[in-house]
Amino acid sequence: MLTAPTRDFLKDPATVLITGASSGIGAALARSYARPGRRLILIGRDQARLDAVADKVRDAGADVHSATIDVTDTNFVTDWLERVDHDTPIDLAIANAGISGGGEGGSESREQIDRIFAVNVTGMLNTVLPLLPRMRARSRGQVALMGSLAGLRGFPGAPAYCASKAAVLSYGDSLRVALKGSGVSVSVILPGFVESAMTARNPYRMPFKMTADEAAEIIRRKLAKGRGRIAFPLAMAVAARAGQILPWPIVDLLLSRAPSKPPMDEA
């Protein structure tokens, strides 16, 4: 008797979860993954923008389930994801929701710092932790954590943002090794400057900036290959890596006149 071929969850995930899907890279990823035969689970905070993204994804033939959720609400997110995964097992979970912010001369407010860590770190954990035991039980699944090249070296104009993305990177690298052989793949995404509502507020030149759709295509292709780290564009990735390798007094001097991000903005 002939049996149906097993679907490759890396190259062709049947069900994809994307947080922060109402704008920027999240919305572009939703469009990139949209096709007939695929279910997209989209989470965002802005109902109108999320509905607009969901409509476009449906037009491309995908089945869509969208929900307006604050990823920092641990109990609600945990219960909701467990119910969703029970009904339709998630092959790929992209923890993309994030916010940015900065301030001149270390002037970030405590409120801003706490909120950045709540969304970028706790929100990421709230997204992946309910799913990991279920993926491990199935011996299949992929989680992708949205970091940033800014997580490779702290910048004076956005200490909390850089630190939050460094935490995402360290957690993802550790988790990838811990889950080796389990059937669960872990990737950390490290983009440079990407066009979005958040970067549009930056009052300075952003070298090698790319569109969200360009970034999404890079991410989708490399996730399909199971890449552990997805850092781009290359020139920015090399520069960020150099910031880790060069002696810190030299890097501090080079960054001493770096511009600051504006105060927090959520997307």
Active site residues: 161
Cα–Cα distances in angstroms (integers) from residue 46 to residues 1, 19, 127, 156, 169, in the given order? 50, 12, 18, 30, 27
Q: Nearest to residue 98, comparing CAs of 116, 74, 81? A: 116
Within a 13 Å sphere around the CA of 90, how many CA atoms are in the beta-carbon half?
31
Task: List for the chain the helix, strand, coil content (%; round to 5).
Answer: 45, 15, 35
d(CA 52, CA 27): 10
Residues 22, 16: contact at Cβ < 8 Å? no
Residues 126, 172: contact at Cβ < 8 Å? no
Residues 168, 146: contact at Cβ < 8 Å? yes
d(CA 230, CA 223): 8
Residues 77, 41: contact at Cβ < 8 Å? no
Strands 15-19 and 92-95: parallel
Q: Running DSSP on this structure, what letter comes out for residue 85?
A: H
Q: Nearest to residue 9, comparing CAs of 135, 150, 117, 149? A: 135
Residues 116, 261: contact at Cβ < 8 Å? no
d(CA 85, CA 258): 44
